[in-house]
Amino acid sequence: MISGVILFLFGEAFALLSPPHGFWAVCFVILNLVYIPFIEEPQLERRFGDSYREYRRHVRRFIPRLRPWSPIV
């Protein structure tokens, strides 16, 4: 979802030729580069433990997979 929002914000900035929109897009990227690995992921790791660590090994943070990942149950 985050990668979609990032693409949308940069697309909007480009379509409108708007430096403030471009600035907001860059700020949003930086905010997520800090928030996700340092705040959100540790909370998810504490909450879900090994299953989250396995998920994180198979799913990239910002670039979507072409095929869905499903754990072997």
Of 17 and 61, more confident: 17
Work out the number of other CB atoms within 10 angstroms of the CB of residue 41.
Answer: 15
The three-state DSSP-derived secondary structure of the chain is CHHHHHHHHHHHHHHHCCHHHHHHHHHHHHHHHHHHHHHHHHHHHHHHCHHHHHHHHHCCCCCCCCCCCCCCC
Contact 23, 7 (CB under 8 A): no
Please tell me the predicted confidence (pLDDT) of residue 73. Answer: 65
Q: State pLDDT tens for residues 4-44.
A: 999 999 999 999 999 999 999 999 999 999 999 999 999 99
